[in-house]
Amino acid sequence: MTFDLTIRGAGIFGLSIAWEAVSRGAKVQIIDPIGAGTGASGGVVGALQPHTPDRWNEKKQFQLESLLLAERFWSEVEATSGISSGYKRVGRLQPLMNDRSVALAKERRPDAQARWGNAAIWKVTKDVGVWAPPSPTGLFVHDTLSAILNPRRAMESLSNALSLRGAEIKREGTDQGAVIWATGWQGLRDMSIALGQNIGNGVKGQAALLAHDATGEPQIFADSLHIIAHLDGTVAIGSTSERDFDDPTQTDEHLDALLERVGLVMPILKGAKLLKRWAGVRPRAASRAPLLGPWPDRPGHFVANGGFKIGFGMAPKIAQTMCTLTLDGNDTIPEMFRFHLLKNTPG
């Protein structure tokens, strides 16, 4: 078979781009020496959430559009694969810790209304149930834009859907057609060497899965912890951020410390059975935005990398953008996501 597009890397960016490409009728091969969804995209957390609605910029607009695309994206994937991704738009609760945070949250309501329109709501409320962390003020921010998915199930669903649509996912192969490099943190490291400047690096994260059924409840973000009630009756807790690490996939005392905080942040989870410990390295571009566009000085090669903590949330829009570039020849990449902004950027 002759392929129109070769994608190097079978994480969430690579597979999402492949899905968009086959949906447009392209013939696609995805090449990854360690298989689909085995890196950072195979984690346990799965928080899809917006940035705050104030100080608006093109990155926030891009992420908003991607979050609004997500429901259709995952619905179509699931309809093809027959496997649930665990996607659901459940919203998010954040406790407001003092009067200043209450005032700031209220100030952001007009921005949310202006930017999100009728698509979602940002409000300050005290009307919460038992699935909520302690709040010294008794108040919370509740947004209805945030969603969840189960990363491993989502990657399984997407991989299966691609295979059923004729895409080939394999461990090795020869480049054909346009080539998109979505190779995670190792890819950022290799590009930094090839281009002689800091393109990005990896940040290790550790997370855990607990046995507690809170199906349908909102995400919780409190004390820097993401708490996700998955649709399968488990709860994910994450994650750490470690720039210095020896073993990319080994859990250690950093996760132990995180787990010790869970009962304080979310008392209802105190004593919940630990089901799984997870560690992986997430790709973080030096610009702190996803890195998209032509590979400098390598004609016919392109890059989609640097999802870091927002890869799943950004993926549907990134898939559209990269396919529009590589298949249609139309460049719609936001300026914040381009290579030229990385010059002289500290790592």
For the segment 276-325, what is each residue's pLDDT rounded down to a tens digit? Answer: 999 999 999 998 899 999 999 899 999 999 999 999 999 999 999 999 99
Element (H, E) at 17: helix 12-23
> Quick one: what percent of the chain has pLDDT higher than 90?
94
Q: How far is CA 83 from CA 18, 43, 75, 79, 136, in A?
A: 18, 17, 10, 8, 41
Rg over alpha carbons for the chain, rounded to the nearest Å, is: 20
Q: How far is CA 288 from CA 43, 59, 284, 305, in A?
A: 20, 10, 6, 11
Cα distance between residue 62 and residue 310, in whole Å:
12
Cα distance between residue 188 and residue 346, in whole Å:
14
Cα distance between residue 100 and residue 136, in whole Å:
12
Backbone phi and psi for residue 86, each to the nearest 5 degrees, phi listed first? 80, 15
Cα distance between residue 36 and residue 159, in whole Å:
7
Give the domains, in start order, of the chain with CATH numbers.
5-200+286-342 (3.50.50.60)
What's the confidence (pLDDT) of residue 223? Answer: 95
Contact 238, 40 (CB under 8 A): no
Exposure string of 85-119, with b = 16+ CB inside 10 Å and e = fewer, is bbbbbbbbbbbbeeeebbeebeebbeebeebbeee
DSSP assignment letter at 272: P
Angle at which helix 311-326 crosses helix 58-81, to 10 degrees, equals 90
- For residue range 81-135, list pLDDT tens digits in order: 999 999 999 999 999 999 999 999 999 999 999 999 999 999 999 999 999 999 9
Q: Residue holding tokens 């560690």?
A: 279
Cα distance between residue 286 and residue 339, in whole Å:
10
And the tokens for 234?
């488990």
For 110, residues 6+ apart whose C-beta sits below 8 A from its C-beta are none
What's the confidence (pLDDT) of residue 1? Answer: 82
In this prediction, residue 209 has a pLDDT band, given cuts at 50, 70 and 90, of very high
DSSP assignment letter at 218: P
**HEC profile for 43-85?**
CCCCEECCCCCCCCCHHHHHHHHHHHHHHHHHHHHHHHHCCCC
Alpha-carbon dihedral angle through residues 93, 97, 99, 102, given to the nearest 10 degrees: -10
Contact 115, 64 (CB under 8 A): yes
State pTM to two decimals: 0.96
